[in-house]
Chains A and B, each alone.
Chain A
Amino acid sequence: MKRKLIAAVGVAGMVIGLAACGGNDGDDKGKTDAGGAKEITVWVMDGSAPKAWIDAVNAEFSAKHPGVTVKVEEQQWKGIQEKVTTALSENTPPDVLELGNTQTAGYAVTGGLADLTKDKAKLGADAWQKSMLASAEYDGKLYSAPWYAANRVVVYDKKAYAKAGVTPPTTRDEWIAGLEKLKAADPASQPIYLPGQSWYVLAGFIWDEGGDLAVKDGGKWKGGLGTPQAASAMEFYKKLQSYSTAPKDKDEATPQQSTDVVPKGGVSSWIGLGWEAGGAEKALKDAGKEADFGYFPIPGKTADKPGTVFLGGSNLAVAERSKNKELAKEWLALAAGKDQMTKYAAETKGALLPNQAGANFTPAAGSFAEAMGKGGVNGRITPVTPGWANVETEPNPLKEFMTKVLKGEDAAKAGADADKEIANRINK
């Protein structure tokens, strides 16, 4: 009897074991409209929509459409692609969703986004910045409305810079010389906090060298990391990173540099976006300290032009399976329209560039926005092709490449490996 029992336990254990290997079904969120009252769901990313602004947008929307409420759900960038893919496959996806500009084409091609080409007039598409429109379109059709753009600048601690006698640099050489001085002035602090996988920063350096992340060669894409340009970009990144004790195998979001690292002190400068600078200021304030940040564009190789930067940004799209597509478009037209975009730019103090020139906010002297505007003239985006989004999913070959080189591997070899993976993913 004991043996039989044991055998039975074994079988049961095995069955349970196998069960866990099973499939992964997305669960349907039952969202019913009780009593005719409608609700639309909007997904925005962490740091994109100031609360005061989006509350005002929703209030205006609800006033225009009585009985319709708007539910805003804030999402994290980490792992967002998996989440969006699952959401778009469901019967009740979010009605409006924010997509990173590098990822929009990847979703446009899946058919998960509503075609907005016919709604151009309603959305006020004529006023949009042409540079921002590029990522919102695919194959001649409009799949999203540009929302905002932003680029990174160097955020520095004015006190630390003053103490070391360093002024904001305009060339790479000055930048490094300044970091050297900072190190000498305060050995306990990091002259710059730069984690090993900040690939948007590296992308700028590669563009500075005349290289690119991936190029189209014939009908196929191929990666650009195995090139001499990428190797020299990586060499500079490595030099910069040597002034930081940040982990070589993490990106700027783990731990979150703005709220988990900078407020702890001991960081004289770092590279970040407007919402990160704002987050750091707030975290410092919560800790009873006062932020004293200055900002300068990422220096270029020569003083006449700043370094090339990745022009990040987001678009707002409507899900094809949305149950309230028309309402969703209405919301989109309102949020991305001139009136609200003007308020948006003001609310973010210009740190996020609105989708139309008419809504621009004139930044204050010495503000983040001012530095961003100076650096943004040299902005570029990742290759606009549906396959690019696959490259950015974790494990991201760009990040692995950076970690390998920072740990001493030959850049050409690590780059060749990464290129194989990049080509594989884009062309898939």
Chain B
Amino acid sequence: MTVHSQGAVTAPQDAPPKSAGGQQTPPMTKGAGPSAPRRGRKPLPAGWLPYLLIGPAVLSLATLLLYPLIKNVILSFQKVDKIEFIQRKAPFNGVENYTQLLGDAHFWTVVVRTFAFTAANVALIMLIGSLVGILLNRLGKWMRLVLSMALVMAWAMPIVASVTVFQWLFDEQFGVMNWVMRTLGFTGYEQHNWFESGFSTLVIVTVLVVWGSVPFVALNMYAGLTTVSGELYEAARMDGANGWQTFWQVVFPNLKPFFTVTTFLEVIWVFKAFTQVYAMNRGGPDRASETLPVFAFVEGQSQGHYALAAAISVLTIVMLVIVMSFYFRLILKQEEEQ
């Protein structure tokens, strides 16, 4: 229960500066406090210090995130198409954008597609990532180094560059995948179009996203596994547990927080994955591989319905917040259990 005891320690640590600050105010105890810094200048009231330290972070978050977010929400209630955009007008439009979206069958198709895409990707990423993580833990020093380096390189690969490589791999006329399939003796791969439908396009995007995200899960999993003490494995072995049982009885409970946080991080990342989906086939063919962020971009940038795109992104945020609320409930429950 290291979690609890360490958490308890932090509370008293927070306390001293406050009491020290209180001691500073009466002049007679000047310099008496053991924790008071001895400097030439009059020290700032220590009560400010935490705020001062957190200030830059809050300020930059507010300018870079909060301000655009508020602007975006306002925009979603305006009418801004190509004409208004160039004339720099933004008449208020009420909830017109929202009613238009919620009554649009295409929007709901995209929502369902986004959730299915996210679920499939996160499941694959967690499964493969965990397996590779366990493999890393079992490997010898050199092989582990080789595998870790391979993982880090895949993780570090810029997205657009990797999408371009994937596009060429699966190209209809010059792609290596069609050549591989032909060489393996499959028929019908003379000019097979891998981006034939929205589904097939998203399958290729899934391969790309999983390939790009597995390293993060695997390396974290490996880091987590090193904290599981060897004695626990030994005890499990003594009790006659097999590999499967060891994982579920020993590793999983110990790494539960890791699984929770990684899964939710992956949910966020996949849900908002834009570059991979858009760069692969611009949401095509016939808009059939659009996920929510791509839908917003196509409506906003390509079609010039800027305010409608803002409404889409607001709805996307609302959906993510709902999904994330499960995560926070989980965290809060765990805190309470302590």
Residues of A contacting B313 with CB < 8 Å?
A: 21-23
B64 touches A395 (CB 8 A): no
A18 with B317: in contact, given A6-B257, A10-B327 (CB under 8 Å)?
Answer: yes
| Residues in A lying within 8 Å of B, measured CB to CB | 1-4, 6-7, 9-10, 13-15, 17-25, 79, 81-82, 85, 88-89, 106, 109-112, 245-250, 255, 390, 393-395, 400, 403-404, 425, 428
B193 touches A85 (CB 8 A): no
A89 with B85: in contact, given A18-B317, A249-B284, A395-B286 (CB under 8 Å)?
Answer: yes
Partner of B3, one of A3, A15, A246: A3
Residues of B contacting A106 with CB < 8 Å?
A: 82
Q: Please, which residue of chain B has its CB at the minimum distance from the CB of A10?
A: B261
Residues of A contacting B261 with CB < 8 Å?
A: 6-7, 9-10
Q: Max chain A CB contacts within 10 Å: which of B193, B261, B298?
A: B261
Alpha-carbon distance between A403 and B88 when the two chains are bound, in angstroms = 37
> Is B268 interfacial (CB-CB < 8 Å)?
yes
Partner of B61, one of A15, A85, A250: A15
Partner of A85, one of B86, B172, B260, B285: B86
> Which 5 residue pairs of A and B lie closest in terms of their CB atoms, listed nearest first?
A1-B6, A17-B268, A112-B86, A110-B86, A22-B68
Residues 65-79 of chain B, each 1 if its beta carbon lies under 8 Å from chain A, else 0: 100110110010000
Could you list 14 further interchain pairs (A-B, Cβ under 8 angstroms) beyond the known A3-B3, A13-B269, A18-B272? A17-B268, A17-B269, A18-B65, A19-B68, A21-B293, A23-B310, A24-B300, A85-B304, A89-B85, A111-B87, A112-B86, A393-B304, A394-B302, A395-B298
Chain B: interface residue count, which band? Answer: 35 or more
- B248-273 with Cβ < 8 A to chain A: 257-258, 260-261, 264-265, 268-269, 271-272
Residues of A contacting B75 with CB < 8 Å?
A: 23
Partner of A400, one of B71, B72, B265, B285: B285
Alpha-carbon distance between A21 and B68 when the two chains are bound, in angstroms = 10
Q: Please, which residue of chain B has its CB at the minimum distance from the CB of A93?
A: B86
A14 with B3: in contact, given A22-B69, A85-B85, A249-B195 (CB under 8 Å)?
Answer: no
Can you report 29 residue pairs joining A to B where beta carbons are below 8 Å apart? Answer: A2-B2, A3-B257, A3-B338, A6-B260, A7-B331, A9-B261, A13-B268, A13-B269, A17-B320, A18-B65, A18-B69, A18-B320, A19-B65, A21-B293, A22-B313, A23-B75, A79-B302, A82-B301, A85-B304, A110-B82, A245-B173, A246-B173, A247-B172, A393-B304, A394-B298, A395-B286, A400-B286, A400-B287, A428-B81
Partner of A395, one of B87, B271, B287: B287
User: How far, in Å, is B257 (CB) from chain A's closest CB?
Assistant: 5
Q: Max chain B CB contacts within 10 Å: which of A3, A9, A428?
A: A3
Residues of B contacting A112 with CB < 8 Å?
A: 86-87
Residues of B contacting A425 with CB < 8 Å?
A: 303
> Is B316 interfacial (CB-CB < 8 Å)?
yes
Alpha-carbon distance between A24 and B20 when the two chains are bound, in angstroms = 48
Residues of B contacting A10 with CB < 8 Å?
A: 261, 264-265, 327, 331
> Is B283 interfacial (CB-CB < 8 Å)?
yes
Alpha-carbon distance between A14 and B261 when the two chains are bound, in angstroms = 11
Alpha-carbon distance between A171 and B258 when the two chains are bound, in angstroms = 71
Residues of A contacting B331 with CB < 8 Å?
A: 3, 6-7, 10
Q: Please, which residue of chain A has its CB at the minimum distance from the CB of B304?
A: A85
Q: Please, which residue of chain A has its CB at the minimum distance from the CB of B327?
A: A10
Residues of B contacting A81 with CB < 8 Å?
A: 304
Q: Please, which residue of chain B has its CB at the minimum distance from the CB of A87?
A: B86
Q: Please, which residue of chain A has its CB at the minimum distance from the CB of B293?
A: A21
A249 with B86: in contact, given A3-B3, A9-B261, A393-B303 (CB under 8 Å)?
Answer: no
Alpha-carbon distance between A17 and B260 when the two chains are bound, in angstroms = 17
Alpha-carbon distance between A247 and B303 when the two chains are bound, in angstroms = 25
A14 touches B310 (CB 8 A): no
B286 touches A403 (CB 8 A): yes
Residues of B contacting A250 with CB < 8 Å?
A: 172
Q: Please, which residue of chain B has its CB at the minimum distance from the CB of A21?
A: B313
Residues of B contacting A13 with CB < 8 Å?
A: 264-265, 268-269
Q: Please, which residue of chain B has its CB at the minimum distance from the CB of A395?
A: B287
> Is B222 interfacial (CB-CB < 8 Å)?
no
A390 with B304: in contact, given A1-B6, A23-B71 (CB under 8 Å)?
Answer: yes
User: How far, in Å, is A423 (CB) from chain B's closest CB?
Assistant: 15
A21 touches B316 (CB 8 A): yes
> Is B324 interfacial (CB-CB < 8 Å)?
yes
Q: Max chain A CB contacts within 10 Å: which of B71, B86, B309?
A: B86
> Is B10 interfacial (CB-CB < 8 Å)?
yes
Partner of A404, one of B173, B286, B310, B317: B286
Q: Please, which residue of chain B has its CB at the minimum distance from the CB of A400?
A: B286
Alpha-carbon distance between A2 and B303 when the two chains are bound, in angstroms = 47
A1 touches B7 (CB 8 A): yes
Q: Please, which residue of chain B has its CB at the minimum distance from the CB of A4?
A: B7
Alpha-carbon distance between A255 and B72 when the two chains are bound, in angstroms = 36
A2 touches B302 (CB 8 A): no
Partner of B272, one of A7, A20, A110, A400: A20
> Is B335 interfacial (CB-CB < 8 Å)?
yes
